[in-house]
Every structure is written in structure tokens, then in C-alpha cells.
Amino acid sequence: MRLLGFITVVLLGGLLFHLSLDFPDLGDASSPAATHVSPYYIEHTMEDTSVPNIVTAVLADYRGYDTLFETAVIFSAGLACFFLMRISERTAPKARFYRHLPTGLTLRIEKGGKIPEDTREFERIDSVWVPYDVIITMTCRLVVPFIQLFALYVIAHGHHSPGGGFQGGVIFGAAIILYAISNNLRRTLRRMSERMSALFGSVGVIIYGGTGMLCLLLGAGFLDYRGMASLLGVDPVSARSYSILIVETGVGLAVTAVMVWIYYNLSSAGKQDEGL
Amino acid sequence: MKEQLPALIVAVPLLAALLVTALWWFDRRLCFPIAIAAVGASLAAAVTLLLRVLSEGAVDYYLGGWPPPVGIAYRIDHLNGLIAVAVSLVSFLNLAACRTVAEQEFREKTGAFYALYLLFTTGLLGILITGDAFNLYVLLEISSLTGYALLGLGPGRAFLSGLNYVFMGTVGASLYLLGIGYLYVITGSLNMADIAAILPSLLPSNLVIMAFVLCLTGLFVKMALLPLHGWLPNAYTYAPSMVSSLIAPLTTKVMIYVMIRITLSVFSFDFAFDETLLRLPILWLAILAITIGSLMALSQRRLKKMLSYIVVAEVGYMVGGFWLGNRSGMSGAVLHIINDAFMTLCVFLAAGAIAFKAEDDRLRNLTGLFRTMPATMAALVVGALSLIGIPPTCGFFSKWYLISGGIEAGQYGFVAALIFSSLVNGILFFRVFEICYFEPTSPPHAYRYRRTVPAAGTGAVTEAPADLLTVLIATAVLLIVLGLYSGEIVTRVIHLALPPGLS
């Protein structure tokens, strides 16, 4: 049976390979893909949308409807992880661990034992051994703001250079995940709770879909950014450009929040107490 | 506002899903009303659109104001207008039915359930009305992803069967995407009508045939046509009951619609039926699906698994009917998409009610159900009669078209498979009825297989929750109403959806 499967795969793969010889050459200027729709984008993007980056214009305006749903796909992924993995019933662990912050000493408290009173000096830590590593914690802490700043640049600069909401959102989310890995999940959850990540995730997609809906309510079609012209107080072409920035911001917010949300659920197997 | 209906069908449930997720963290009571209002709005928009299509012809809508092929276009004609009404109605009915059960099954995750439910519906409706081959893939992703999540949260082996579905479904969707990629390389366009206009000038071409085969194979995985059906029975059996009654009626039917759409509107009828040699092999696959699906259903001991195998056989009906390539066969296939959606909804809702109240769906433990849940069983009887194909119910009429199409095309193997499958369905359901009606109830024996004592407190199985029961009975009545009006549906809608000049 395994041999039969192997032979089928080889035959079909060979067929696909053979047929790909009929494809136009890579970068062939006379291929259908390069002559049918692409010239329109290349020639008209600037006058249609006043966005210098053609990729951004195609992504967020010409085919912006696909991108709305791609963002919704990412949101669905976060929601699916939550739906399948989240466990809310808590069972008391056998032992709890506290770190005395000034000295770095670790305290182990058995079930039923008393918790240190001054919680400002003690911090609860994960039950798997976590070294008190000042270098890693401090380095990551110093790096995180710069990563976040760069992420904002990538989101905002999608008009002119490679970048945009998806890439910037991933970088921003990665910064928060870096913080979670170098510190711990509890501390990160205090900074950005699960509720906050779920809310930001949905708000991000609502910004995108809501912009579309707003255009519709203002008299243009769904996602026809020209409708935003009167609201933004600019001409229709600039309205497209500004609206692209708005939806890119929404995408960035959604991607950031969903990445963090998925990390919370995956790293702690849905318990969201400790992990990694 | 009337011009904007095509966008609203999809945008309203999408935004409602996001709103439900956000509001769940503040006020949990708001979620269900928002969800049902959104699906209701979609249903209303779909009905209005169908009426408009009937009076004025196909409706186009350009998203973002960009005309195709530069932008994405929606195109609603008789075919997808009709199916969109059916899909939104099934989704609406099931949502109206599911509140009590869902709140007990999902507890603190009910908000996420409603949000995923809405996203799933959004995805399917988007697949139906889009006129863009790539946009279809994006929405396919949404509906698959949410479908995996919903199916995975059942009891027992649901996680594993859901994972299996993830693998198979991803392969299927990737094959479809590869096919679209081929088409883009050949034509440089993603809009269906535009591709259809370019393709004839490129024929004959091996690449076009390969693109067609890749798309079809991907869709066959997604619709679970027989050799590729492995994911379906377990995924539907172990799913939460209110999820299987949503996904079982809709996913496979929408995928069959996509097959019809791709075949007729992207590649042409002449290309698909005359220039490729696919017609007979697919027809024989369908015959195999009907026969083996029915036989497998016969060997099951659990109600939901038996119904899942009937779904596998029904896929064969529609695929076979379409690939007969004549007017009766295709009409039968499209009519059966509508009818089968409601029949499957009816029987899966009844099975869900039984699983919820009796907490067991093994056939031998279903004794005495006609006494304890009379209304649920009455609805199940109507659904079963429709699946068998007894005249006043709608199942008879689509089967009639399919069989006469088979005879006209001279495909007696297909006719024989249909009749065989109807007989097997008869045996299947009358076996269930016999157990439920005549077998003596022996409480100690039945109790041994229950995990807990039923919720009623008295220890006895009682009638299904009121909301579920109301919808169930409404669906059963709908099956008969659809049957009575099937002539109207065929002559006024479906015949206009098929390519003109079909024999």
C-alpha cells in the first residue's frame, strides 16, 4: 500500500513537473499574467489612489475585500485556538513558588501553606525551574520598545516601502511574545490581559470592516473608500490613500492581538497560568 | 440601500461575529440576540436579492467600486441566489434552535461559539455569491477554519477526527488554490467571467485541463466524494450536536455548488463535458459513492454515524446528477442541493435532540423514544421519509428528476444505484423506528450506558427543549412545503440557472 502511494505521488508529481514546462518563463514580459491586469495597476495606481507602493494599493484597495477576509481568517485562527484550548477550571497546584525580588531567592510553598504577606517583595513564578537571569530579562526589556517602534514604522510606512499591517503587526506581536518568553506569562498577562488581546483582535477587524461599512453608509459601495472623502475632508483620491492607512492600522492591531492571544493559549495549554 | 444588498449579505454577519467576540467580555446576554439578528438580516437580504434576480436578471456588485478584472465582483444569478436563500435559512433555523443546547454544551465559551458560527455562515454565503475565483478561496478558508474549530470541541474522539479533517481539508483547499494558480498563469485574470472569456482562445491546452482537474480534485476532497470521504463520518459523528446540524447540511452542498459554478461559469459546459474525458469516470465515482455510502450506513450502530454515511451517499446523488449533463439530471442535482440541505438539517437536529436528552445515540439504546419524545420522533419520521423519497416530501421530487435524467442519458447504473440507495435508506430508518417504537424499554439496561442521569431530574428522557423542538417541527413542515412547490422552483428558478440549449 505504501509502495502504491509512493508510485502515485511520483507519477502525479512528474505530471505536474512536466506540465510546468508549458508555463511562460519566469519574468516573461509577454506572459498573460504580465499583460492582462498588471499593466493597469502599474499605470493607474498613482492617479487612482495616490499610493506610491503598488503592492499596498492592490492589497488594500483594488483587492481590499480579499484582505479584509484574510484579516478575518487570522482572527478566526485566534478564536479557534481559544475555543478549542482554553480551560477555565482551575485546580490548585501541589506547590507554589515565589521569588524574593531583592535577593533573587526562591521560596517553595506546599499546598495549604501560607503565601508571603508582602507581595511587592515576592513574585509568584512558574513551577518549572526558571533561572533568575538578569542579563536576558534586562536585554529583552531594553530591546522591546525599539522593536515596537520599528513595528509602528513598518505599519505606517506601508504606503512607500515594503511593509504594512500584516508585517508590522507580526513584529509588534513578536515583541510582546519576546517579553513573555524572557519574563514569564503571568507578568505579561498583567500588562496585556487575555480580555484585552481578544478585544484588540476584534476591534482591529472591526476597524477594517467598519471602514467598509462606513463607506457604504456614506453612499459609496462597500469598501469604496471614495465615500470617506466627505468625512475626511479631502478629495476622493486622497481619501483612498488615507483609508488605506486606517485599514492597515486595523490589520496591524488585529494581527498583534491575535498573535499574542494564540501564544497565551498555546504556551500554557489553555490554562493561562504559566508556560515557557 | 437596495443596491448594497450583495455586500450586506456577507458584511453583516462578519461584523456581528466581531461584535459578539468583543461584547462577550462585557455582557454575555447580548451575544445571542446579535447573532440571530445578523443571520436574520442575511436571510432577508438573500430573499430580496433572489426576488430581484427573478424579476430583473443577474445582479452585479463591484467591491470597492473597481470593475472586474481589476477589482473583485459579486455576481448573483438564479443558481447562487436560490442556494444563498437555502443556506442562510438553514443557518438561521439552526441558530434559532441551538441556544439551550449550546449554552449547556459550551458554557463559558458560548460567545466564541456564536462568533465562529457567524464567521462560518459568512464564509459560506461569500463563497456562494462571489464572482472571483480567488476571493472564493479566501472565503473557503474562513468557513473551513471555523468549521474545524467547531467540529473539534465535541466529546470523545472529536479532537482526533477534527485534526484528520484539518489535514484532508487543507490538502483539498490547496489543490483548489493550485488550480486557480494555473488559471492565473494561463489567463492573467482571477475574475470568473473574465477567465471564461479568455479560455476558449487558448484551447486545446493541457494546462487548462490540468487546472480543471486540480480544482475538481480539491473540491472532491472538500465535498467528500467517495474515495476522498475519509474525514467526514467521524468528524460529523463526534461533533457537538448543534454543530453537526449546521455543518452537515451546508458544507458538502456549498462545495457541490462550487463544482457546478467552476464547471459552468469558468470552464464552459462544452469544455467540461466534451473536451475532457472526465464525464464517465466522475459519474462512476458518484455511483460508487452512492452504493458504498449506503452500505456503510447499513453497518453502523450509532445514529449520527449512520446519518453521516447517508450524507456521503447523497453527495454521490448530486455529483452524479450534475455529470449526467442533461437538463433533468442537472435540475435534479440543483434541486437536491436545496432539498438535501433541509432534509439533513431535519434529521441531524432530531439526532441532536436525542443525543442531548438521551445522552446516547447507539441504536440499540434508543428504545421507547416514541413514547418519551413523540414530537422529535415525528419530525425524524418526516425527515426519514424525505431521505427515502416518499411522495409528499421534497426528497421524492429531486430523486424523480435525477432518475429521469439518468434514464434520458442512458446511464442505467446511476439509476440502479439511486433506487438501491433509496431501498437501503428505507431499511435503515425502519430499523430505527422499529427499535424506537416496538422494542421493550428496559431501564436498567439502558441506564448502564448513560454517563449521567438525564437533566430532567426524574431520571426519564423527556421531550427536547422548546426552541429546538419548534425549529425541528418547522423544518419538518418545510420539507413537505418544499415538496409541494418543487415544480415551481424548478421551472421558475433552476431552469433559468442552467446553460441554455441543454437537452
Nearest Cα neighbor of B179 from B143, B203, B209, B202 is B209
CB-defined contacts A:B, below 8 A: 160
Query: Which chain B residue is nearest to residue A85, measuring alpha carbons?
Result: B153
Question: Residue A111: pLDDT above 80?
Answer: no
Q: Which of B18, B65, B72 minimises the CB distance to A206? A: B18
What was the pLDDT predicted at B452?
Answer: 47
Q: How confident is the model over B334-387, as pLDDT tens digits?
A: 999 999 999 999 999 999 998 888 777 788 888 888 888 889 999 999 999 999
Q: Quickly state the pLDDT bin for B121 (edges 50, 70, 90).
A: very high
| Strands A122-125 and A105-110, sheet pairing | unpaired
Chain A positions in Cβ-Cβ contact with residue B186 (cut-off 8 Å): 32
Cell of B238: 463526534
Average pLDDT over residues A18-23: 84
Tell which of B20, B21, B60 to mutate to test the A interface (max A CBs under 10 Å): B21
Chain A positions in Cβ-Cβ contact with residue B61 (cut-off 8 Å): 221
Phi, psi torsion values for A102, nearest 5 degrees: -60, -35
Helices (H), chain A: 2-20, 32-35, 38-49, 54-57, 64-85, 134-156, 165-182, 185-191, 194-217, 229-232, 236-267
Question: Residue A94: pLDDT above 70?
Answer: yes
Per-range mean pLDDT, top range of A241-245, B68-72, B134-138: B134-138
Q: How confident is the model over B303-319, as pLDDT tens digits?
A: 999 999 999 999 999 99
What was the pLDDT predicted at A96?
Answer: 79
Chain B, 319 to 378: residues with Cβ < 8 Å from chain A are none
Average pLDDT over residues B54-64: 90
**How far is A249 from B468, CA to CA, in rounded Å?**
42
Helices (H), B369-441: 369-372, 374-388, 394-408, 412-437
Whole domain around residue B346: which residue ranges? 277-503
**How far is A131 from A104, CA to CA, in rounded Å?**
9
Q: How confident is the model over A27-59, as pLDDT tens digits?
A: 788 888 888 888 899 998 888 888 888 888 888
What was the pLDDT predicted at B176?
Answer: 95
Q: Cβ of A219 under 8 Å from any chain B Cβ?
A: no
Cell of B392: 409528499
> 436528552: which residue's cell?
B357
| C-alpha B183, offset from chain centre | 27
Higher pLDDT, B8 or A25: B8
Sheet (strand A122-125) strand order: A105-110, A95-100, A122-125
Q: How confident is the model over A121-170, as pLDDT tens digits?
A: 787 777 776 666 788 889 999 999 999 999 999 998 888 888 888 999 99
Q: Cβ of B134 under 8 Å from any chain A Cβ?
A: yes
Q: Count Cβ atoms below 10 Å from residue A9 Cβ, excluding itself.
A: 10
Whether B31 is in a domain gets the answer no
C-alpha dihedral (A122, A127, A130, A131), degrees to nearest 10: 60
Question: Residue B444: pLDDT above 60?
Answer: no
Whether B160 is in a domain gets the answer no
Contact A206 B188 (CB under 8 A): no
Chain A, 144 to 203: residues with Cβ < 8 Å from chain B are 195, 198-199, 201-203
Question: Residue B458: pLDDT above 50?
Answer: no
Q: Cβ of B64 under 8 Å from any chain A Cβ?
A: yes
Q: Cβ of B149 under 8 Å from any chain A Cβ?
A: yes
Chain B, 205 to 244: residues with Cβ < 8 Å from chain A are 205-207, 210
Nearest Cα neighbor of B208 from B145, B123, B266, B155 is B266
Whether B26 is in a domain gets the answer no
Cell of A171: 513584529
Q: How confident is the model over A62-89, as pLDDT tens digits?
A: 999 999 999 999 999 999 999 998 887 6
**How far is A270 from B17, CA to CA, in rounded Å?**
22
Chain A positions in Cβ-Cβ contact with residue B8 (cut-off 8 Å): 216, 222
Q: Quickly state the pLDDT bin for B299 (edges 50, 70, 90).
A: very high
Average pLDDT over residues B228-242: 90
Q: What is the DSSP letter of B117?
A: H
Nearest Cα neighbor of A199 from A123, A122, A244, A256 is A256
Whether B169 is in a domain gets the answer no
Average pLDDT over residues B41-52: 94
Question: Residue B454: pLDDT above 80?
Answer: no
Average pLDDT over residues B452-473: 69
Contact A83 B153 (CB under 8 A): yes
**Percent of chain B clearing pLDDT 70 (strictly above):** 96
Contact B184 A216 (CB under 8 A): no
Whether B203 is in a domain gets the answer no
Contact B210 A19 (CB under 8 A): yes
Contact A32 B141 (CB under 8 A): no
Q: Cβ of B19 under 8 Å from any chain A Cβ?
A: yes
Domains held by chain B: number: 1
Contact A80 B210 (CB under 8 A): no
Chain A positions in Cβ-Cβ contact with residue B19 (cut-off 8 Å): 202, 206
**Percent of chain A clearing pLDDT 70 (strictly above):** 95
Amino acid at B417: A
Q: Quickly state the pLDDT bin for A104 (edges 50, 70, 90).
A: confident
Chain B positions in Cβ-Cβ contact with residue A35 (cut-off 8 Å): 188
Q: Which of A19, A88, A210 minimises the CB distance to B207? A: A19
C-alpha dihedral (A249, A253, A256, A262), degrees to nearest 10: -140
Give the bridge partners for A125, in sequence order: A97
Q: Which of A23, A83, A195 minimises the CB distance to B149? A: A83
Contact A19 B141 (CB under 8 A): no
Chain A positions in Cβ-Cβ contact with residue B188 (cut-off 8 Å): 31-38
- Enumerate the domain spans of chain A: 52-86+131-267
Counting every residue, how long is chain B? 503
Average pLDDT over residues A249-259: 94
Please list, in sequence order, all residues whose beta carbon lies within 8 angstroms of the beta carbon of residue A255, skipping any fewer than 6 positions away: A71, A74, A165, A166, A168, A169, A170, A172, A173, A204
Q: Is A119 helix (H, G, I), strand (E, B) or coil?
A: coil
Contact B187 A34 (CB under 8 A): no
Q: Cβ of B145 under 8 Å from any chain A Cβ?
A: yes
Cβ burial of A186 (10 Å; 0-12, 13-18, 19+) is middle
CA distances from B221 to A79, B175, B226, B232, B252 (A): 25, 9, 9, 10, 10
Counting every residue, how long is chain A? 276
Mean confidence (pLDDT) of chain A: 87
What was the pLDDT predicted at B442?
Answer: 57
**How far is A236 from B64, CA to CA, in rounded Å?**
12
Q: Which of B63, B108, B146 minimises the CB distance to A76? A: B146
Chain A, 3 to 32: residues with Cβ < 8 Å from chain B are 15-16, 19, 22-24, 31-32
Q: Cβ of B65 under 8 Å from any chain A Cβ?
A: yes
Q: How confident is the model over B400-443, as pLDDT tens digits?
A: 999 999 999 999 999 999 999 999 999 999 999 998 888 776 55
